[in-house]
Amino acid sequence: MKFLPIVWRNLLRRKFRTVFTIGAIFFAFLLFGVLMAIRAAFSMGVDMAGQGRLMVIDKVSIINPLPASYESQIRTVEGVTDTTHANWFGGYYQDVRNQFATFAVEPESWLRIYNKEYNLPEEHKKAFLADRTGAIVGSDTAKKYGFKVGQKVPINGTIYRRPDGGPWEFTIDGIYDSPIKGSDKTQLVFHYDYLRETIPERSGMRDRYNWYVFTIADPDRAPQIAAKIDANFANSPSETKTNTEKAFVSDWAKQVGDIGQIMMGIVGMAMFTILLVSGNTMAQAIRERTNELAVLKTLGFSEGRILWMVLMESAMIAVVGGGLGLALSYALITATGDPTHGMLPAFYFPTPSLVAGIGLVAALGIASGILPAWQASRLRIVDALRRN
Amino acid sequence: MLRQVFAVTSVNIRSIRQRLGSSSVAVVGIAGVVLVFVAVLSIAEGVNATMQASGDPNTVLILRAGSDTEMTSGLGGDATRIIQDAPGVARDAGGAPLTSPELFVVVDHPLKRSGSPGNVPLRGVTAQAFKVHDHLKIVQGRNLEFGRNEIIAGSAAARQFVDLTVGRTLKWGENTWTLVGIFEDGGAVSESELWCDVKVLQPAYRRGNSFQSVYAKLASPDSFQSLKDSLTSNPQLTVSAMRAPDYYGSQTEVLQTIIKTIGGIIGVLMGVGAVFGAVITMYTAVASRTREIATLRALGFGSIPVVFSVLAEAALLSIAGGLIGGAIAWLAFNGYETATMNFQSFSQIAFKFAVTAKLLMMALGYALLMGLVGGLLPAIRAARLPVVTALREL
C-alpha cells in the first residue's frame, strides 16, 4: 500500500489515455448490464415462476377454454391443496394499442395462491373482494395511464365483447406492487362473474376457463400429480396438459426463440471486442515503461513487488471503469424499467448477473495486467535498460 | 496546402503497416459494432419483408369492428354472406364473389429448434381461398380435398416445426389430420401456417358456423372506399375493413418495437464504446509517431495537413472495420430463417434475416462517423504538439 502513490502517478502520466480506457471499459459494462436485463426479459420471468404451482391448460392450445367442472375434479386429486382459474381477457384502455395483461379470475382463490406476488394493502383487498365490478391493477400500468384508487375506468376487451359493444367499466379498488424484483406489475385482474354475465349462453363459452392454477403440498410430487390429472381428462373433448408454472413459462420463452440468444451472442461478442481494445491499451501502457521498471528493479524492488504494482494499476482502471459501468446500468435499469413500455415487463438486472459482472471486472483487471506484469518482473535489468 | 495534405496523408497511411497491432484493434472494435448493428436490425428488416410480401394492396381484410387481429375477431356465417355481396368485390369468371371467409386458430406443436411446443396457426379456408390468395402454390404433394381431414403446410412452418412432411398423420385433440401438401406463398406470413377445410375445423373447435375474417379481392384498386363504406354503414354488420398491407403492417408492431428499441439501445451504447476504443487507438498511433509529426512540423508542414492525415487514417480504419463487420453479418445472417412468437397473432411467425443494401450503407456511415469522432481529439492533439519538446521525447 505504501506504493499506491507511484501507481497513482503512473495512471496520471497519460491522463488522456487513462480516461479513455476507463471510458471504454465503462461502456462495455454498461452494455453488460443492459444485456443481462434483456436476457432476463426474454426469459419472461422464468426465475420467478412458483415451483409449487402447477397449471392446467387445454392440450391442443391455451386458446381453447376448459370446462368449469374440471376445478372440483382437480381439487379432489390427492396432494392438491388449492385451486384457482383465469381467463385471458385481452384488455386495452381507450386505444387497442394500449394493451396490458388482463385476467378475469376468481378473486379470493387467485389472491390466496398469488399472495406473495400481489402486494396489496389489506383495505384495498377487502374492497376488491366485495366489489363485483372492481379490479386491481399493477403499479406500472396504474402509473402509465394515471389510474387512481376509486376511479372508474373503461376497459375494452379484444376477445370478449359486451352485447352493446361498449367497454366494461371497472372500479379500481386497489393498486398492487410487488416485492419480488422483475415481477410483472402491468396486470389488471377482475372478477370472472362480471365477465360471465356478458357471455351469451348459446356461445358455449360461458363457464369455461383458459387455465387453472393449483398448488400442491409437496413440489417433488409434481410430475405424478400432473400425470394423474391429465389421465383423468384423457379421451374427453377437452384433454388437458398439466405442468409446473415454471415449465409453462420456460416453454413460452422458448417460443420467442433464437432472437434472444442471437442478440445475446452478438452483443457478448461486441463487449468482448471493447474489452480487448482496452485490455490491449492497458498492456501497451505498461510495455512502453519497461526500462523504467528496470530502474525500479535496480533500486531494489523485488519481482513480486513489481508484479503487484503493475497488477494494481490495471486492476484500478478495470475497477473504476467497470464498477461505474455496472453501477450506472444497475441504477438506470432499476429506475427506468422496461424501455418498451409494457412489452417486456420482466426487464430488470438480476442479482446473479451482477455478481458475474463483478467477477468479469476482476478478471479483466487481472488478465490485462498479468502478462506485461509477469514479463516486467522477469526482466533482466541489463536487457531492459539497454532497450531503446 | 493541398499537396501538403496529400503528402502527409500518404506517408501516414503507408505507415499503418508498422502499427498493424494497434490499428487492427480499432478495426476489430468497429467491425464488432457494425456486425451487431446490422445483425439486430436485419431481424427487423426480415420481419418487415415477410409482412410486405403478405400485403397484396388489392386484397381487403374484414374483421369484427374493434378487433386488431384475426385471432380475436369473430364473424357469423350470415355476416360473411352479406360481405360477399357487397359492392366493389371482384368476381371470378363464373360470377362467384372472390371472398374468402376464414377461421384462424392455433395448435400446440413441437418446434424443431427446442423440442418445446410452439403455437402453429391453423387456418380453415373454403375452396374460394385459393382464388383470393392467388400467389399460393403447392410445391410438394397435392392440394387439400375439401370435406376431409386434410392439411397443407406452409413451407416455413414445415422447416420450423417437427413432423410436418407430406404423408404424416397429425393428431390434435380428438381430430386426426393427414398432411397432404406443402405450399409457398411468395415469402408471405401464410407460409408459417397450416391450412385445412374450414367446414372440418369449425366443429372441431366448437365454432358453429362462425368465422374470424373475410379476405376479399377488390374489383378495381379504387373500389376500396366504396366497399368499406357499404360495409361499415350496413346496420346488420359491425365490421372494419382495411387493405391487406395496412393490416400486416400493424401485425408486427409490438415485435418491431421490441427489436428496434433493444437494437437502438445496444447500437448507441456500443457505438459510444467503440468511439472510445477508436480514440485510444488513434491516440496510441499519434503518440508512437510523435517524433515524426514534430519533424514534419519543423520542416514547415502546417497543422491542418497533420489533422487531416490523422482523420484520414481514422476514416480508413473505420471503413475497413465497417466493411469487415458488414461482410461477416451478411455471410453469417443474411437469409438465415428462424421463427419467433408474434405476440399480436399469438402464433409463430417465420422470417429470414435480411441484410439489405440500405442497412449496410447505414452501418458503413455509422462506422465512418465513429472513426471520425474517435480520430478528432487525437488529431487536434497531434497538430498542437509543441515541436521542440516533441522532438526531444523518447
Interface test with B, best of A95, A100, A203, A274 (most B CBs within 10 A): A274
Whether B270 shows a pLDDT value over 90: the answer reads no
Lowest mean pLDDT among A70-74, A144-148, B158-162, B337-341: B337-341
In a domain, B248, yes or no: no
Residue with cell 374470424: B212
pLDDT in tens, A97-131: 788 889 999 999 999 999 888 889 999 999 999 99
Quick one: closest CA in A to B342, which residue? A256
A276 vs B: CB within 8 A: yes
> Residue A388 pLDDT > 60, yes or no?
no
| 3 state DSSP class of A370 | helix
Is A20–B276 a contact, with Cβ atoms under 8 angstroms apart?
yes
CB contact under 8 A, B111 and A250: no
B71 in any annotated domain: yes
Q: How far is B220 from chain A (nearest CA, A)?
A: 30
Q: What is the pLDDT of residue A137?
A: 95
The reported pLDDT for the residue numbered A128 is 95
Q: Which of A30, A59, A278 sits opposite B173 (nearest CB)?
A: A59
For residue B123, pLDDT over 90 is answered with: yes
Q: State the nearest Cα–Cα gap between B370 and chain A, in angstroms.
A: 13
Judge if B214 and B259 occupy the same domain. no
Of A67-71, A172-176, B62-66, the one with minimum mean pLDDT is B62-66
- Indicate if B220 and B274 belong to the same structural domain: no
Higher pLDDT, A349 or A274: A349
Residues B84 and B138 in one domain: yes
Give per-residue pLDDT as tens, A2-25.
778 888 888 888 888 888 889 888
Examine the fold and report which residue of B182, B206, B237 is the final residue of a domain before the chain moves on: B237
* pLDDT the model gives residue B162: 93
pLDDT at A266: 66
Sort out which chain A residues have CB atoms less than 8 A from B347's CB and list them: none
pLDDT of residue B161: 94
Q: Which of B373, B367, B382, B290 lies closest to B321 in space, CA to CA?
A: B367
Q: Is there a domain that residue B58 lies in?
A: no
Question: Mean per-residue pLDDT for A294-305?
Answer: 84
pLDDT digits (tens, 9 = 90+) for A164-220: 878 999 999 999 998 777 778 889 999 999 999 888 887 778 899 999 999 999 888
Cβ atoms of B278 and B29 closer than 8 Å: yes
Domain that holds residue B261: 2-52+253-392
Over 70: is that where the pLDDT of B278 sits? yes
Which residues 297-356 of A are in CB contact (within 8 Å) with B?
339-340, 343-344
Is residue A285 within 8 A of residue A316, CB to CB? The reply is no
Q: Which residues contact A27 (CB under 8 A, 6 or more apart)?
A: A274, A325, B269, B270, B272, B273, B276
Residue of B nearest to A257 (CA): B340
- The minimum CA-CA distance between B133 and chain A, rounded to whole Å, is 26
The answer on pLDDT for A151 being more than 80 is: yes
Q: Is the pLDDT of residue B151 over 60?
A: yes
Chain segment A229-264, per-residue pLDDT in tens: 999 998 888 899 999 988 888 888 788 776 667 767
Q: Determine the distance in angstroms separating the CA of B74 from the nearest CA of chain A, rounded to an integer.
A: 9
- Give the tens place of pLDDT for each residue, B283-295: 777 777 777 888 8
Query: Does B202 lie in the same domain as B258?
Result: no
- The answer to whether position B184 is within a domain reads yes
Distance CA B383, CA B302 (A): 8
Q: Are B93 and B45 part of one and the same domain?
A: no
Residue A49 predicted with pLDDT over 70 = no
Query: If pLDDT is split at 50, 70 and 90, which confidence band does B313 have?
Result: confident
Q: pLDDT per residue over B199-243, tens digit each?
A: 999 988 878 888 999 999 999 988 999 999 999 999 888 899 999
Q: Where among B204, B237, B270 does a domain terminate? A: B237
Q: What pLDDT score was predicted for residue A372?
A: 76
Q: Nearest CA to CA, how far is A121 from chain B (Å)?
A: 32
Domain-located, residue B343: yes
Distance between CA atoms of residues A367 and A383, nearest Å: 25
φ/ψ of residue A115, rounded to 5: -65, -25
- Band the pLDDT of A341: cuts 50, 70, 90: low
Query: Do B220 and B266 fall into the same domain?
Result: no
Q: Once rounded to an integer, what is the mean pLDDT over residues B349-355?
A: 91
| Structural domain ending residue among the three candidates B205, B237, B269 | B237
Q: What is the predicted pLDDT for the residue at A267?
A: 66
Q: Do B101 and B214 have their domain in common?
A: yes
Indicate the average pLDDT of chain A.
85
Q: Assess if residue B202 is contained within a domain.
A: yes
Q: Which amino acid is at B155?
A: S
What confidence tier does B275 reach under pLDDT thresholds 50, 70, 90? confident
Axis-axis angle for helices B303-333, B20-54 (nearest 10): 50
Kindly state whether residues B124 and B271 are assigned to the same domain.
Answer: no
My answer on whether B228 and B184 are in the same domain is: yes
- Minimum mean pLDDT range among A260-269, A368-377, B343-352: A260-269
Instruction: Name the range with the highest mean pLDDT among A2-6, A133-137, A289-293.
Output: A133-137
The model's pTM = 0.81
A334 versus B104: the higher-pLDDT residue is B104
Residues of A in contact with B339 (CB under 8 A): 257
- The reply to whether B81 and B218 lie within a common domain is yes
Between B307 and A275, whose confidence is greater? B307
* H/E segment holding residue A279: helix A258-287
Interface test with B, best of A32, A60, A341 (most B CBs within 10 A): A60
Q: Residue for cell digits 391448460?
A: A57
Q: How many domains does chain B have?
A: 2
The pLDDT-based confidence of A289 (bands split at 50, 70, 90) is confident
Q: Is A2 on the interface with B (CB under 8 A)?
A: no
- Output the pLDDT for position B195: 97
B25 is a domain residue = yes
Judge if B303 and B163 occupy the same domain. Answer: no
Q: Do B132 and B101 fall into the same domain? A: yes
pLDDT surpasses 60 at B256: yes
Tell me what pLDDT residue B90 has.
92
Nearest Cα residue in chain B from A276: B25
Please state the rounded mean pLDDT for residues B130-152: 94
Q: Write the CA distances from B323 to A198, A224, B312, B320, B357, integer angstroms.
A: 61, 57, 16, 5, 12
Cβ pairs A/B, distance under 8 A: 181
